[in-house]
């Protein structure tokens, strides 16, 4: 999809169909020309309403406000409404809030995110025919927008939305087609395209690095485990950030096998690692002036004669012993080793991990929200605020010492599950905190994306399946750190 910006008024530019976002429920704005027809069709500008007037070649889309998240959703809804039509080009005016270009960026993101559909396994593809979107800088609020500033925002939006779709594609791919080696190949290919460097550790090197816990989780799989390390290292970068992602290409639960209904969708257990790969792609393409490292633990959790077992005691890379009481709590075991490795390799200012870690996070905050944990309230807030600014939902969950006691073990240093059935998102986060070095305790946040990463219905600007959760929130955060780094 190609975007073109122009200072010409919307009436003077061409496009097969005009998209008009309507914020006012009384349909009073000058952009709304067919008030009577719209009323007749029952259109009242609600957030997810659309009304296509085919004879006029005009698509009306409702939005609750001019806030970025509402405009993003409206643009995505426009693309969904135009799916299956013969229109090849769109023209649209600009909808900004108090002259700021954030909403322009949100609109472009919405168009690209809303157009996404995963059709790899469909014999008949129904790809959208829209190739061209012309954006007139004629503005809803009649304010002036600088075309150069605007075109930079459009370009950034394209990079970020494309990276989100890149992540969605990886997550949606079946476990038969996307196993650890394939994930590493995708990372290597992306690194080559974008100029990142990429190192892949295979089982022999993983053994050398004493990542026995990660290896135990992957042992019953016919696919060898991988740890991927992507690096973006510009000159004179003052800030260093490390990202770590859970990349379970399939989570059957292992010997603590998941019930049938819970196993379906577990191809999405690689969402954290896939988000890290998408973020790294965006970081490279935006050429952010900060150093960013992305680590992915790519492993498949299966059953078999060689499987790791409840009752085993494993030793993590940092020497801590872990009593295994449930092989389905495998993500934290993989992350334990990758977090240790990441801290050994890079001395970063910030350390974030992304994981579909617990069903308990979904129970606690619902399907649409990520849980943000850590030792430092400010770092947690930085993540939550960035998520909200980027149009993702996130909320902080606090650690406490009472829950910490529930992951004690009688026979090892720590147990891989809690002795209480409640507070499971937090106890999983607290398990991870055992593998964060003291000096990094306040630099770390854990992001449980189990809720939003994969949802089996469309919501907001997200389609059925993978959403690419984590990508937009973290790119926003890294952009913020970049602007500080520049001053
Ligand atoms: N991958 C799952 C968590 C998950 C569940 C993600 C649902 C997305 C949707 C994870 O490995 C897991 O199985 N966790 C267990 C932990 C339990 C055994 C302590 C869970 O949440 O039930
Ligand atoms: Zn599991
Ligand atoms: Zn898992």
Q: For the ranges 82-86, 271-275, 350-354, which has the lowest average pLDDT?
A: 82-86
Which pair of tokens denotes residue 375?
Answer: 């030792």
**Atom of ligand 1 lying closest to residue 427 CA:** 19
SS3 313: strand
Residues 225 and 116 in one domain: no
Report d(CA 139, CA 135) in Å as an integer.
10
pLDDT tens digit sequence for 132-165:
999 999 988 888 889 999 999 999 999 999 999 9
Residues 342 and 243 in one domain: yes
Q: Sign of torsion, CA 58 59 64 66?
A: negative
CA of 333 to the centre of ligand 3 (A): 10
Residues 204 and 331 in one domain: yes
Which pTM was predicted? 0.98
**Atom of ligand 1 lying closest to residue 301 CA:** 11
Q: For the ranges 87-101, 147-161, 304-318, 407-421, which has the lowest average pLDDT?
A: 87-101
CA of 260 to the centre of ligand 1 (A): 14
pLDDT tens digit sequence for 316-367:
999 999 999 999 999 999 999 999 999 999 999 999 999 999 999 999 999 9
Q: Which of 332, 443, 472, 476 is catalytic?
A: 332
CATH of the domain at 356: 3.40.630.10
CA of 248 to the centre of ligand 2 (A): 9
Residue 462 resides in a domain: yes
CATH of the domain at 17: 3.40.220.10
Domain of residue 225 covers 166-486
Q: Report the pocket of ligand 1 as residue ranges, CB < 6 Å.
A: 251, 269, 326, 328-331, 356-360, 362, 417, 424, 450
CA of 338 to the centre of ligand 1 (A): 18
Domain limit, last residue, from 84, 115, 145: 145
**Any catalytic annotation for residue 258?**
yes
Long-range pairs for 422-427: beta carbons < 8 A, 24 or more residues apart: 423/360, 424/358, 424/359, 424/360, 424/361, 424/363, 425/357, 425/358, 425/360, 425/361, 425/364, 425/371, 425/373, 425/397, 425/450, 426/373, 426/397, 426/398, 426/399, 426/400, 427/403
**Any catalytic annotation for residue 58?**
no
- The protein residue with its alpha carbon nearest to ligand 1, atom 22, reads 359
Of all ligands present, the nearest one to the C-alpha of 423 is 1
Residues 339 and 387 in one domain: yes
**Atom of ligand 1 lying closest to residue 424 CA:** 19
Number of domains composing the chain:
2
Residues 214 and 308 in one domain: yes
CA of 220 to the centre of ligand 2 (A): 14
CB 425 within 8 A of CB 360: yes
Residue 423 pLDDT grade (very low, low, confident, very high; cuts 50, 70, 90)? very high
The whole-number pLDDT of residue 262 equals: 98
Mean pLDDT on 222-230: 99
Mean pLDDT on 240-269: 98
Residues 139 and 192 in one domain: no
Which pair of tokens denotes residue 389?
Answer: 């600014």
Report d(CA 473, CA 317) in Å as an integer.
30
User: In whole angstroms, how far apart are CA 138 and each of 61, 93, 104, 225, 476?
Assistant: 18, 6, 12, 53, 27
Mutate to test the pocket of ligand 1, among 310, 359, 451 (most ligand atoms within 8 A of CB): 359
Write the DSSP symbol of residue 100. B
Checking if the pLDDT of 486 tops 70, the result is no
Residues 139 and 269 in one domain: no
Checking if the pLDDT of 231 tops 90, the result is yes
Residue 121 resides in a domain: yes
Q: Which of 202, 210, 258, 325 is catalytic?
A: 258
């Amino acid at each position: 999809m190609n975007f073109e910006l122009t200072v010409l008024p919307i009436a003077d530019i061409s496009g097969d169909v005009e998209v008009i976002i309507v914020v006012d429920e009384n349909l009073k704005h000058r952009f709304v020309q067919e008030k009577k027809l719209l009323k007749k069709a029952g259109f009242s500008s609600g957030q997810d309403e659309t009304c296509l007037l085919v004879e006029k070649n005009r698509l009306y889309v409702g939005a609750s406000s001019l806030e970025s998240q509402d405009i993003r959703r409206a643009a995505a809804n426009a693309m969904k409404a135009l799916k299956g039509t013969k229109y090849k080009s769109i023209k649209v005016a600009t909808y900004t809030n108090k002259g700021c270009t954030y909403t322009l960026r949100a609109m472009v993101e919405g168009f690209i995110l809303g157009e996404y559909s995963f059709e790899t396994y469909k014999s008949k593809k129904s790809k959208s025919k829209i190739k061209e979107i012309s954006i007139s800088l004629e503005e809803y609020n009649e304010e002036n927008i600088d075309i150069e500033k605007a075109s930079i925002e459009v370009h950034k939006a394209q990079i970020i939305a494309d990276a989100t779709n890149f992540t969605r594609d990886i997550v949606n791919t079946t476990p038969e087609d996307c196993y650890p080696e394939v994930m590493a190949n995708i990372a290597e290919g992306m690194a080559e395209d974008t100029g990142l460097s990429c190192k892949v550790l295979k089982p022999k090197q993983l053994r050398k690095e004493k990542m026995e816990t990660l290896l135990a989780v992957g042992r019953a799989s016919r696919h060898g485990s991988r740890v991927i390390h992507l690096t973006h290292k510009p000159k004179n970068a003052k800030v260093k950030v490390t990202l770590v992602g859970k990349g379970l290409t399939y989570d059957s639960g292992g010997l603590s096998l998941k019930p049938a209904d819970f196993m379906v969708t577990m191809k999405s257990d690689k969402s954290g690692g896939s988000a890290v790969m998408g973020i790294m792609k965006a970081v490279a393409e935006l050429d952010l002036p900060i150093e960013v490292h992305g680590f992915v633990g790519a492993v498949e959790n299966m059953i078999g004669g060689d499987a790791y077992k409840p009752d085993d005691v494993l030793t993590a890379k940092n020497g801590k012993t872990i009593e295994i009481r449930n092989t389905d709590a495998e993500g934290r075991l993989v992350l334990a080793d990758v977090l240790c490795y990441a801290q050994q390799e890079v001395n970063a200012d910030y350390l974030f991990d992304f994981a579909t870690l617990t069903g308990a996070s979904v129970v606690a905050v619902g399907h649409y929200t990520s849980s943000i944990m850590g030792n430092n309230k400010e770092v947690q807030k930085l993540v939550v605020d960035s998520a909200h600014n980027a149009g993702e939902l996130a909320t902080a969950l606090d650690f406490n010492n009472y829950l910490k006691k529930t992951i004690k073990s009688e026979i090892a240093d720590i147990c891989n599950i809690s002795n209480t059935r409640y507070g499971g998102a937090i106890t999983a986060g607290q398990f991870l905190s055992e593998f964060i070095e003291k000096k990094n305790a306040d630099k770390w946040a854990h992001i449980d994306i189990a809720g939003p990463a994969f949802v089996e219905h469309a919501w907001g600007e997200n389609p059925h399946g993978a959403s690419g959760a984590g990508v937009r929130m973290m790119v926003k955060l890294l952009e913020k750190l970049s602007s500080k780094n520049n001053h």
